[in-house]
Amino acid sequence: MIDAVMEATTVHPPERVRLQSTRGFSRVASPHELWRYRDVAIEIARRDITVRYRQTILGAVWAILQPVGTMVVFSIFFNRVAGIRSEGVPYALFSLAALVPWTFFSNALVMGSDSLVANSALVTKVYFPRVFIPLGILSAGLLDLVVAFVILLVIASAWGHPPPVQVLCLPLVAVVTVAAALGITAALSAVNARFRDVRYIVPFATQLWLFATPIAYPSTLVHGAYRIVLGINPMAGVVEAWRWAVLDLPPSWPLIGTSAGVSALLLVGGLAYFERVERRLADVL
């Protein structure tokens, strides 16, 4: 009877686990472990989503207010004052289509890089795959991204730019965005566990990164082969792909391809570093 209750309420049947020092990718990339602890991943994501706008007046409206606010500032300074052109679509739409994925990316970086430290009480007291912590931040951000994306489509349609067919490719673009964001966030959160300097560098660095990415200006400002160099910035390709998918602007495939490749590298590299730090995380936090 007691056994029956135990089986019903615990997560797993008795399973022998050997605990010893590990190497390689045995933690971050173990499907068995990730699946075994999936409920923790779901609850952490649910927590991050719930907490995000609790006790705010505007709630999820912030998801669109952030990119729209930046768009207004950009329209005034880059379009009106500096006279930057926007490839035949209204500048406001042109910059908004890029600011929507950028807001996801920059929020993920700023909030995600502090996430391990913010959850140190958890990390030093219970076991679960630590990658769930930056993933929770990303999933909350993804929800924002979907909200902002829908509103972006509404605004674009109202402005006479209904979504083209290739809007259906956006999930694929989102995968590239998430890969880049997860790789960088995981690595930064791991560095932050050791050196809290990251907390001060990241918000500042993201500001600079915003201007290094063709968001306020078109990527065509950069010519020829240099375009591929621009693609080393993963967000350059992401932004280019978003403008193509939402506004039907002609894309530069070499740029997008380079960015996708860099994102994949960042994902693998970031998780590898995360894995290395994860092993002694509870000892350094």
Partner 1 sequence: MAGHAIETSGLGKLYRLGTSRRGYGTLRETLVDAARGAFRRNGGPPDPEELRTIWALRDLSLTIDEGETVGLIGHNGAGKSTLLKILSRITEPTSGWADVTGQVGSLLEVGTGFHPELTGRENIFLNGAILGMRRDAIRRRFDEIVEFAEIAQFLDTPVKRYSSGMSVRLAFSIAAHVEPHILLVDEVLAVGDAAFQRKSLGKMDEVARQGRTVVFVSHNLAIIRALCQRAILLEHGRAVADAPVEVAIDQYLRALEQAASEDLLVRTDRDGRGWRDLLIRRVEIREHGTGRADVLVSGAPVTIAVETTESLPNTECRLTVLNALGQPVTTLDSEQPAPADQRDADLGRRIECEIPALPLAPGRYRLDVVVKAQRQIQDGLQAAAFFDVEPGVVGERPMPTSGSDGDVFLPHVWRLPG
Residues that bind partner 1 (CB under 8 A): 2, 5-6, 8-12, 14-22, 39-40, 42-44, 46-47, 50-51, 54-55, 121-128, 193-197, 279-280, 282-285
Which helix (H) or strand (E) segment holds residue 47: the answer is helix 38-52
Nearest-approach distance from CB 143 to partner 1, in angstroms: 17
Closest to partner 1 by CB, 41 or 68: 41
Structure tokens at 55: 């006790």
Sign of CA dihedral 195, 198, 201, 205: positive
Nearest-approach distance from CB 12 to partner 1, in angstroms: 5
Structure tokens at 143: 């929800």
Nearest-approach distance from CB 279 to partner 1, in angstroms: 6
Closest to partner 1 by CB, 53 or 159: 53
Nearest-approach distance from CB 178 to partner 1, in angstroms: 23
Q: Crossing angle of helices 91-113/198-212, nearest 10°?
A: 160
Closest to partner 1 by CB, 188 or 260: 188
Q: For residue 282, how far is the Cα from the chain centroid?
A: 25
Nearest-approach distance from CB 122 to partner 1, in angstroms: 5
Closest to partner 1 by CB, 43 or 87: 43
Buried b (16+ CB within 10 A) or exposed e, 224-236: eeebbebbebbbb
Closest to partner 1 by CB, 132 or 244: 132
Structure tokens at 178: 């998430």
